[in-house]
Structure 1
Amino acid sequence: MQKKMLRLLEFNKIKERLTEHAATSLGKELAMELEPCTDFGAAVKAQEETDEAMTAIRLKGSAPFGGIRNIRAAVKRAEIGGMLNTEELLDVSSTIYGGKQLKRFIESFEENEVNLSMLSGLAEEIIPAGELEAEIKRCIDSDGQVLDSATPGLRTIRQQLRSYEARIREKLETIVRSSSNQKMLSDAIVTIRNERYVIPVKQEYRSAFGGIIHDQSSSGATLFIEPESVVMINNQLREAKGKERQEVEKILTALSNEVASFSDPLLSNLEVLAKLDFIFAKALYGKTLHATKPKLNENGYLNFKNARHPLIPKEDVVPITVELGKAYDSIVITGPNTGGKTVTLKTIGLLTIMAQSGLQLPVEEGSEASIFEHVFADIGDEQSIEQNLSTFSSHMTNIISILDKVNFKSLVLFDELGAGTDPQEGAALAISILDYVKDRGARVVATTHYSELKAYAYNREGVINASVEFNVETLKPTYKLLIGIPGRSNAFEISKRLGLNEKIIEHAKQQISSDTKRVDKMITSLEETKKQAEMEYEEAKILRQEAEKLRSEYEKQKETHELERDRILLEAEEQAKQAVESAMKEAEAIIKELRSYKVSGVKEHQLIDAKKRLEEAAPHLTDRKEKSKKQKENHQQLSPGDEVEVTHLSQKGYIVEKINEQEYLVQIGIMKVNVNAGNLKKVKTKETANRTFVSVKGNGSTVKTELDLRGKRYEDAKIEVDRYLDDAVLAGYSKVNIIHGKGTGALRKGVQEILKKHPNVKGIRMGGAGEGGSGVTVVDLK
């Protein structure tokens, strides 16, 4: 996009405010370089990045950018063999540490299952250079001083330095404390001149101490003398300091070489850190604007809901709602000066550019922006007194430039189109220009004073009138955009409110044509109608909200009542179930007792029949939720293991395998039959069907030809064997297998003792080689 257009729409001011939210100089650079994306995919990505940063700030506050410095120059100098100073090396270490902190901050969201895929992708690119950071910190302290521990050589040199300094001070302190020397000294102190320890001696006693004069006071009354007794030690000290400088340079050179070896990852990290700082700056700026993420499209459709100009304080700006690109692709805003037309124009253009730059917008949720290749603007000083040829020429030169480049991927903004020349010619030119731009497929918003353009909007398909509301009572614009209603000059009303003689106003009205009067009357009617419609809309909105609230409360109460009803029914069913189970247990006990008495005349099959009748007499209680679940399962796809009812045989079994889409192999008792899918009804889930259970055939359940007792205690096994044999006889089986496992043999022995005494058992034998061997007892039934 043209920089001139961006400047006209004040995008540079947006970038300046964005820069204030960047934490580092790296991020500030990117903020100032920001330009709108003309590629749809790039714009969507930029918006997604900003939205992820918004999420991060909302959940954990600002991202940590502390310690990150722009170290590009230092790294590049190290690359060419330059020696970095301690401050530059500390900046490198601090930047490495800051990068690690930011990386951890972003990774923490993934640990908490918050999806920030774009930020995480950038964080992954940060290369930790921990060894370089540690080496710099080992050698240099936080004040920028090279530590004694950096090398053994430096430690030794500094120990010598401290020793020399201590000896010098001791000798000089002895001199200045001596009572005989007090009168010869200007002050009883030890000081330094030219990096050598000296004492202040009065001029007249200069020869009393011997040695070297290094300096004198401004008056010349005091000389700073290095006494002869410390000259040799001072020389040794100076020599040691030279060695120290050489050792420090050696250390700094080594560290600089380390930085050079890490130059690629360090510079790469800087690019990532700059991008992350820039992204978080966009999010922080959006937060100050109370902005929202717009939906983006590439078909030229704009829908800004309650949009605010981002450079006007929120408390001063009046939101506007504007839609462009569906029912109409051109808007003509008419009305008097100072009404807010230019602000409306700039708001539309600036928000479009911001959306294409990845910035969130000061609009309501659900707003939409489009990606344009160009946003053209011709915005001048519409309040200028000098509307002469030169002004007209300036505007026309700019418009010609726009017309040369405009296409169907352009948004064009004209402020006071055709102004600055004869009204009749200006209006004709404005209409012709609008037609040309419209024919090129561009989206257009134009402001004008010309009443002829009101009729233009009515006579052209895809063009709509609009105006900025003006309060005649207060003589102030309300800045509210009215779509579909052309503006009025309000000259007569304003003049009347200001006190102009009514005779003059009436005379002026007579000069206006009847057509103009009818148009003004129509506009007045439209404004009143729109206001009434808006009031009714707001009332309807409130009523709808109240209705939604009542419906929500009703739904909650309904759910509460249903839960309470289900709870009561479940309690009742549970009580009934417990009563039936108690009765069944008692019946079992009676039957066992009768068996033990060997009552004459009571046959075994009679006992079994009695038990069957008891079971059939028990009410079938089903959990209401389970019942609902079963009804749903009947509509599920059948699969092997599902328990089913064969409807045309009134028998139950389970699916062995699926033959094709219409036929299944079903196990019914000891038989396997092919059954059409239409004759099958699912009654249990696969898990339930695979569970080992036994019940009488009369109840329609399947009895397996084997009973697995492995892991059972003897007392439990005894009960299960007794019950299983009864059910197997009723199922018509002549042979069944009891699986007890090998183990210690105790369970096998106990089971076989039960089988030998059972009245329904004809004979038993151990399982053969293919039947499970000694872990199975094969039972022949009567």
Structure 2
Amino acid sequence: MNIKTLIQLDYTRICESVSSFCLTEEGKKSLAERLPFTDKLEADRVKARGMAWTKLINAGTDTVLTPRPPVREVFGTLKTLNAVLPIESIYALGLFCRSVMEVKNFFTAKTEEKLPSGIEALSETASLLPDLSEASAAIFRIIDSSGKLRNLKELQEIRSSIQSIRRSIEQLIKSYTTNDRLQNALQSNLPVLRAGRQVLALKADYRGKIKGIVHEVSQTGQTLYIEPHDVVQKNNELIREEFRLEQEIRRILTTLSAELSRFTESFEKALSLMTELDTSRAAALWGMENRCIFAEDADKNHPLRIVQARHPLLYDKAVPIDIEFRENHRVLIITGPNAGGKTVAVKTLALFALLNQSGIPVPAEAGTRLPFFKSFFADIGDEQNIDQSLSTFSAHMKNVGEMLDKADKDSLIVLDELGNGTDPQEGAAIAMAVLDELIEKNAFVLVTTHHGSLKNYGYTHKNCINASVEFNEGNLQPTYRVLMGVPGESRALSIAKKSGLSEKIIQGARLYVENRQTDISALIRGLTEKYAALEKAEAECRLKEIDLNKKDEKIRSRDLELKQKEIELKEETLKQNKTFLCENRRLLENLVRQLREGEITREKTLKVKNFITELEQSIQAQSADLDTKQREWKKERTQTTDSPPAKKRGQAVFKVGMEVYTANSKVRALIVGKGKKGEWIVQAGSMKISCKEEDLRPAAVQKERSSSPLSQAPSFSVELAPLEKEAASGTLPVCGASAAVASFELRLLGMRLEDAIKALERHIDICTIRGLHEFSVIHGKGDGILQEGVHKTLASSPNVKSFCFAPPQDGGTGKTYVQLG
């Protein structure tokens, strides 16, 4: 990455600004020195962490990272053989270990319900942090939370001895200072420290009063600083004990340093991950303060686009600009007046690309999309170099030549005032030849220019798009807005007049312009007006599109509600069937057993007939209730615009081979035969069912079927074998979860994994036998244990063709659709 280019595009200044939000020295240094990533996966990971921090900060749970002392230099000391870390370094390392463990526990402990969704990038990073609890325990076993050495057992005896000696010295000194015979001999009753030893300030005239060692004499010679002989011995003992204490402390620190050196690799890994967390948090905070967003990825179908972009160094003075490329456009040529904002526009776009590839949000609005580049080049400003005898034009051409050698399809190139600094005609020719070469290399190019030839060039090349910076003719001031699709005038005469040039000179210049070249100003003004009209029309279209989208959303919402009601009705019907079986199965089993075990008497025969009569009455009652619900449901469906068209009885003539809708279902079925009076036999998928003619509706137009297995499934009824036959063969099923009833939905919620798997395997067998090819499994989300077991069982079953999660509106990852082969 060319550092000069990064400086020209203000990238380094922005990184320094973002780094001020870091909590650690390592984070600030890393962010200030960061270069844009050329690996898209790495860039996406950094962006994902930044977006996760934004959600965490907005949720008010951004408290896990805290400031701490730097530790990178400590790692270098630990790698040195027999190195001894000072207490300050050990304390800094201890705080680092605690910080790492707090972050790891915060993101990996079972506190998902307390954290917002969408922070998986942070959780993944935190899970990679090594466990430093052992190192932390070793450090804080030696020092306390304030960073001071603890009163360890091996130090207690030495410290106790030192205290005892100091008391003895104090008592000896006190015996001199309180002696009445020495009151006139001492300059002060308080001891004085000299070379770390307690001495007495004795008047020179009383030299013989106290026997001892003279450590110092005052400048006047009137005072002697003397250490009495008995105090000398105690002071010597004190020095020996203090040296012994230092040696013991050094031994403890040496042992601890050697122990901590084993964790050097873990320390470095943890520091790298903690720095990534710190820098991505800083990027999120900077982005929130500057009203930034994380840009989306641009691709072939969604080209580059920046919406209401503001250069971050202009702060509130920045005028938001919009730049949008069309498909296959790779070159942007911006023209317009001096000081109109051309250079700021291209620098803003290029800076955004750099920030985006560094995991830093950009000050723009939602909808901003940026491509991914692997190299960046810029030629901006006056490049005159006296030392190398290069003129402005020569310096620019040297830069352009280097770009042409290195540019490719993954390059972003910024060329400010291309072709300037020499003869306009030749400069324009060189500029067009340069663009030809860059277009051939398929590079992404941003150009600013005043050359009229390049304006025409932008129209004649399909890879180019013209743009201009707007100019207010009323006050002769630039508005700094970018107008896409039309070139701009340089407005040199207007600006020169406003800058103070006389009217006479302006008129003379205008005559030269009119005589020497064709005036294209009128053409440009016409294009500008047409562009404004087009922009207004596009705005109106966008408003209409938004309105249509809202209406479409309402229709889709209504359709989902209808589907949900349909499913609920099916579930209720199936539930009633199961209840019916459970209530009557045991009674019927007893009757069959009685018939088989004893003689058939009139009393038993009447008992069986009565049971059958009651059973028929119960079925008729349930059928009547279901018919009522279906009629109510059909009435609701006819009031919706998205339902299949309902037909009154007698309006349609049904025949074999005709496609129809059955009952209240949206599933298409085929009439395959004539049933009883007023009924037809229809086939939906592999199922054949009998339907009343009044419940059928012609399916005139083929509609795209939903991918949901439930929406494709026909109305379903299970035909059981005659009870006497099943009882005789010993296959009569029992009531409960294991009953041989094929169902569209299997609920496993609240079941243990082993029981749930058995129920699922049995249900697959039942559905295979009964011919039900699709059903759903409700397993819930929870800890994912039941979900994982269900998917493993489905994957290993030879009868299962495919399975997938339900859409969000039908349960999402808590429900799985299954299709049998």
TM-score, with normalisation over the residues of structure 2?
0.67
Q: Relative to 1, partners in 2 of residues 1:527 and 1:285: Cα closer, same or farther, differing over 3 Å? A: same
Q: Aligned partners of 1:559 and 1:463: how far apart in 2?
A: 46
State the Cα distance separating 1:161 from its structure 2 match. 0.7
Q: Relative to 1, partners in 2 of residues 1:309 and 1:381: Cα closer, same or farther, differing over 3 Å? A: farther
- 1:49 counterpart residue number: 49
Spell out the pairing of 1:671-686 with structure 2 (5 A cutoff): 682-683=715-716
- 1:128 counterpart residue number: 131
- 2:776 counterpart residue number: none
State the Cα distance separating 1:394 from its structure 2 match. 1.1
Conserved? CA contact 1:324–1:330, under 8 Å: no
Spell out the pairing of 1:574-593 with structure 2 (5 A cutoff): none
State the Cα distance separating 1:468 from its structure 2 match. 0.8
Q: Relative to 1, partners in 2 of residues 1:297 and 1:546: Cα closer, same or farther, differing over 3 Å? A: closer
Spell out the pairing of 1:598-677 with structure 2 (5 A cutoff): 620-622=624-626, 624=629, 648=675
Percent identity between the two aligned chains: 29
* SS of corresponding position for 1:61: coil
Asked if residue 381 in structure 1 is aligned to residue 382 in structure 2, the reply is: yes
- 2:288 counterpart residue number: 287
Conserved? CA contact 2:78–2:260, under 8 Å: no
Spell out the pairing of 1:87-102 with structure 2 (5 A cutoff): 87-102=88-103
Spell out the pairing of 1:546-557 with structure 2 (5 A cutoff): none
Q: Aligned partners of 2:341 and 2:56: how far apart in 1?
A: 37
Conserved? CA contact 2:321–2:481, under 8 Å: yes
Q: Aligned partners of 2:7 and 2:24: how far apart in 1?
A: 25
State the Cα distance separating 1:478 from its structure 2 match. 1.3
Q: Which moved more, 1:531-540 or 1:478-487?
A: 531-540
Q: Relative to 1, partners in 2 of residues 1:71 and 1:330: Cα closer, same or farther, differing over 3 Å? A: closer
- 2:266 counterpart residue number: 265
Q: Which moved more, 1:356-365 or 1:161-170?
A: 356-365
Conserved? CA contact 1:410–1:443, under 8 Å: yes
Q: Aligned partners of 1:526 and 1:168: how far apart in 2?
A: 100
User: What amino acid sits opposite 1:437 in the alignment?
Assistant: L
Conserved? CA contact 1:292–1:361, under 8 Å: yes
Q: Relative to 1, partners in 2 of residues 1:609 and 1:343: Cα closer, same or farther, differing over 3 Å? A: closer
* SS of corresponding position for 2:141: helix
Spell out the pairing of 1:527-566 with structure 2 (5 A cutoff): 527-535=528-536, 537-538=538-539
Q: Aligned partners of 2:323 and 2:498: how far apart in 1?
A: 31
User: What amino acid sits opposite 1:312 in the alignment?
Assistant: L
Q: Relative to 1, partners in 2 of residues 1:538 and 1:173: Cα closer, same or farther, differing over 3 Å? A: farther
State the Cα distance separating 1:162 from its structure 2 match. 0.6
Spell out the pairing of 1:254-403 with structure 2 (5 A cutoff): 254-296=255-297, 303-324=304-325, 326-381=327-382, 390-403=391-404
User: What amino acid sits opposite 2:133 in the alignment?
Assistant: G
User: What amino acid sits opposite 1:44 in the alignment?
Assistant: D
User: What do residues 694-746 of structure 1 show as CA deviations (whole Å, max 9, x unaligned)?
Assistant: 99xxxxxxxx9979899xxxxxxxxxxxxxxxxxxxxxxxxxxxxxxxxxxxx
- 1:147 counterpart residue number: 150
CA root-mean-square deviation: 4.8
User: What do residues 138-179 of structure 1 show as CA deviations (whole Å, max 9, x unaligned)?
Assistant: 222345443322x33x21111111111112112323432445
- 1:7 counterpart residue number: 7
Q: Aligned partners of 2:384 and 2:469: how far apart in 1?
A: 16
- 2:40 counterpart residue number: 40
Q: Relative to 1, partners in 2 of residues 1:145 and 1:212: Cα closer, same or farther, differing over 3 Å? A: farther
User: What amino acid sits opposite 1:3 in the alignment?
Assistant: I
- 2:437 counterpart residue number: 436
- 1:416 counterpart residue number: 417
Asked if residue 427 in structure 1 is aligned to residue 428 in structure 2, the reply is: yes
Conserved? CA contact 2:307–2:322, under 8 Å: yes
- 1:471 counterpart residue number: 472
Q: Relative to 1, partners in 2 of residues 1:535 and 1:189: Cα closer, same or farther, differing over 3 Å? A: farther
- 1:234 counterpart residue number: 235
State the Cα distance separating 1:525 from its structure 2 match. 2.1
- 2:802 counterpart residue number: none
* SS of corresponding position for 1:247: helix
State the Cα distance separating 1:104 from its structure 2 match. 1.9
Conserved? CA contact 1:331–1:464, under 8 Å: yes
- 1:732 counterpart residue number: none
Q: Aligned partners of 1:353 and 1:308: how far apart in 2?
A: 14
State the Cα distance separating 1:380 from its structure 2 match. 1.4
State the Cα distance separating 1:330 from its structure 2 match. 1.3
User: What do residues 382-413 of structure 1 show as CA deviations (whole Å, max 9, x unaligned)?
Assistant: 999xxx98111111111111122222222221
- 2:491 counterpart residue number: 490
Q: Structure 2 unaligned runs (5+)?
A: 570-605, 635-661, 680-684, 691-712, 724-729, 737-821
* SS of corresponding position for 2:520: helix
Q: Aligned partners of 1:709 and 1:463: how far apart in 2?
A: 75
Q: Relative to 1, partners in 2 of residues 1:248 and 1:611: Cα closer, same or farther, differing over 3 Å? A: closer
TM-score, with normalisation over the residues of structure 1?
0.70
User: What do residues 449-471 of structure 1 show as CA deviations (whole Å, max 9, x unaligned)?
Assistant: 11222122222222222111122
Q: Aligned partners of 2:553 and 2:241: how far apart in 1?
A: 86
Conserved? CA contact 1:324–1:443, under 8 Å: no
Conserved? CA contact 1:22–1:281, under 8 Å: yes
* SS of corresponding position for 1:93: helix
User: What do residues 519-557 of structure 1 show as CA deviations (whole Å, max 9, x unaligned)?
Assistant: 201211222333344455556656776787799899999
State the Cα distance separating 1:371 from its structure 2 match. 2.0
- 1:210 counterpart residue number: 211
Conserved? CA contact 2:75–2:268, under 8 Å: no
Q: Which moved more, 1:391-400 or 1:469-478?
A: 469-478
User: What do residues 506-527 of structure 1 show as CA deviations (whole Å, max 9, x unaligned)?
Assistant: 5544443489665201211222
State the Cα distance separating 1:186 from its structure 2 match. 2.7
